[in-house]
Amino acid sequence: MLRFPEKFYFGSASSATQSEGSFEGDGKGKDIWDQWFESEPEKFYGEVGPNKTTAMYKNYKEDIKLLKQTGHNSFRTSISWARLFPKGYGDVNEEAVKYYKDYFQRLKENDIEPFVNLFHFDMPMELQKIGGWENRKVVDYYREYAKTCFELFGDIVKRWFTFNEPIVHVECGYLNQYHYPMKVDAKLAVQVGYHTALASAYAIKEFKESKIDGKIGIVLNLSPAYPRSNNNEDLKAAEIAESFQNKSFLDPAIKGEFNELLVSLIKKHDLMPEYDREDLEIIKENTVDFLGVNYYQPVRVKAKEHLPNPNAPFLPTYYFDLYDMPGKKMNKYRGWEIYEKGIYDIALNIKNEYDNIEWMITENGMGVQDEDRFKKDGIIEDDYRIDFFKGHLKWLHKGIEEGSNCIGYHIWTPIDCWSWLNAYKNKYGLIELDLETQERTIKKSGYWFKQLSDNKGFE
């Protein structure tokens, strides 16, 4: 039997856009996903947009019961900035305040610790119109939004996150055209990344000044970069990939300063953002109390074999190539690599390189296409998912035994959910959703997860 510490967070994560239903609510303003879907529905898988979700905005009371039945002692979601502030600033939407207060309070009453994130890819449309994270003013609006959240919900919520996967809106929005505003502009990407790191630090400053008893962190998607070989060129390629993929936000969040190698490359390409010294001090002084890690898969890199076209837009892969490692284990139902040991490498890296800061897995999960094919007698028998969790938990356990300060394991996600451009292509839930009837059915993995959480471990 593998046993986890007595006080260990077992649960799952979702986000406002992916669970609440974007148009369902009482005065919510539009965010970039609402707008994008309205203008280009064909970009979204099956032409299904954020208006078709689990509608947790309406169903949260019942859904909390399902969280309980699947063994949750904790759960992460996010606040929709555009629901609370329809324009992103100005007047607070009182309906939103009522909803979030009741939602978080009920989680507490059910002994489910709420972990609340302030930003999960969902910029209010009114703020995107003035440039979103490109505009320094939006950092001030975000700071005000964060402060308001602490004031409104700080007596209930004790665990906060400033951002989910901040590198995603940088990369997908400004380098590889997978998120709005779909630009390819390296200089703006750097500016957006810098403003995001700064906004996170300002939220932490507000949190500290609010004197709320609780902790604040950031959720980062860490993908360890493994070199193809131990030759110098491949090792250098992996080091550079690490600095872009992982250290870009890890270093400012925990060490209070930007990664040197990354900064030197940014300078070399003449991509330095506009910044001022006072703001750099804010980043230095306001680091996180704890860290959330989303882990799905590593990156496999090798040295560049051909010089990139000098006229091509600058991308991190200017410095390394990704390579397809022969024999790697794959999730054949979605197409991502499965490398369980990655979670252990992350655990030890945090221990050795980042002051053994308190941290937790905030997302880990297995997406599956056409999951209906695994249904027997009305229940999805997702043994592959149980094996996926076990494989990762074994390595996580080893990391903890070796002293890494991990306090929890949240999977992605409780109920099959809408996911950005992929909509409902890949199902991740412990609970199946029938999108038409809204009926929810616990999968085999949901029952297994309850056992895991009750026993604080598994055979």
12 binds ligand BGP (CB under 6 A): no
Among 20, 126, 134, 165, which one carries the catalytic annotation?
165
54 binds ligand BGP (CB under 6 A): no
- Contact present, 204 and 287 (Cβ < 8 Å): yes
412 binds ligand BGP (CB under 6 A): yes
- The torsion of the CA quartet 9, 77, 71, 60, rounded to 10 degrees, works out to 150
List beta partners, residue 459.
none
x/- letters, 353..382, toward ligand BGP (CB under 6 A) = ----------x---x---------------
Among 134, 242, 363, 371, which one carries the catalytic annotation?
363
Q: Is 435 exposed, middle or buried (0-12, 13-18, 19+ CB in 10 A)?
A: middle
Task: State how far Cα 27 lies from the chain centre.
Answer: 26
**Nearer residue to ligand BGP within complex by CB, 222 or 254:** 222
**CA separation for the pair 365, 369 (Å, rounded):** 13
Instruction: Tell the smallest beta-carbon distance from residue 13 to ligand BGP (Å).
Output: 8
Amino acid at 32: I
**Nearer residue to ligand BGP within complex by CB, 194 or 424:** 424
- Contact present, 366 and 428 (Cβ < 8 Å): yes
Closest by CA position to 428, among listed 32, 73, 18, 40: 18
The answer to whether residue 165 is catalytic is: yes
**Nearer residue to ligand BGP within complex by CB, 243 or 294:** 294
Which residue has tokens 């199946």? Answer: 432
DSSP single-letter state for residue 7: S
**CA separation for the pair 234, 240 (Å, rounded):** 10
Instruction: Tell the smallest beta-carbon distance from residue 247 to ligand BGP (Å).
Output: 18
**CA separation for the pair 132, 125 (Å, rounded):** 8
**CA separation for the pair 201, 263 (Å, rounded):** 19
331 binds ligand BGP (CB under 6 A): no
Q: Which residues ranging from 286 to 325 are in contact with ligand BGP (CB under 6 A)?
A: 294
Q: Which stretch binds ligand BGP (CB under 6 A): 40-48, 282-290, 310-318, 415-423?
A: 415-423
Q: How many CB atoms lie within 10 A of CB 39?
A: 9
Closest by CA position to 82, among listed 67, 73, 93, 71: 93
Instruction: Tell the smallest beta-carbon distance from residue 14 to ligand BGP (Å).
Output: 8
Q: How many CB atoms lie within 10 A of CB 58?
A: 15
DSSP collapsed to 3 states, 365-379: CCCECCHHHHEECCE
**Nearer residue to ligand BGP within complex by CB, 223 or 286:** 223
x/- letters, 419..438, toward ligand BGP (CB under 6 A) = xx-x---x------------
Closest by CA position to 118, among listed 189, 216, 223: 216
Which residue has tokens 């996010």? Answer: 78
x/- letters, 226..255, toward ligand BGP (CB under 6 A) = ------------------------------
Q: Which residues ranging from 147 to 206 are in contact with ligand BGP (CB under 6 A)?
A: 164-165
Instruction: Tell the smallest beta-carbon distance from residue 366 to ligand BGP (Å).
Output: 10
**Nearer residue to ligand BGP within complex by CB, 53 or 164:** 164
Q: Which stretch binds ligand BGP (CB under 6 A): 36-44, 227-235, 372-380, 414-422?
A: 414-422
Q: Which residues ranging from 57 to 116 are in contact with ligand BGP (CB under 6 A)?
A: none
**CA separation for the pair 438, 429 (Å, rounded):** 14
Q: Which stretch binds ligand BGP (CB under 6 A): 155-163, 222-230, 392-400, 417-425?
A: 417-425
**CA separation for the pair 253, 216 (Å, rounded):** 11
**Nearer residue to ligand BGP within complex by CB, 166 or 446:** 166
The correct pick among 12, 15, 73, 331 for binding ligand BGP (CB under 6 A) is 15
Instruction: Tell the smallest beta-carbon distance from residue 331 to ligand BGP (Å).
Output: 10
**Nearer residue to ligand BGP within complex by CB, 286 or 362:** 362
Amino acid at 327: G
Instruction: Tell the smallest beta-carbon distance from residue 411 to ligand BGP (Å).
Output: 11
**Nearer residue to ligand BGP within complex by CB, 294 or 317:** 294
The answer to whether residue 363 is catalytic is: yes
Query: Which string of b and e fits 144-174 if b means at least 16 CB within 10 Å?
Result: bbbbbbbebbbebbbbbbbbbbbbbbbbbbb
List the catalytic residues.
165, 363
Which residues here bind ligand BGP, judged by CB under 6 A? 15, 18, 164-165, 221, 294, 363, 367, 412, 419-420, 422, 426
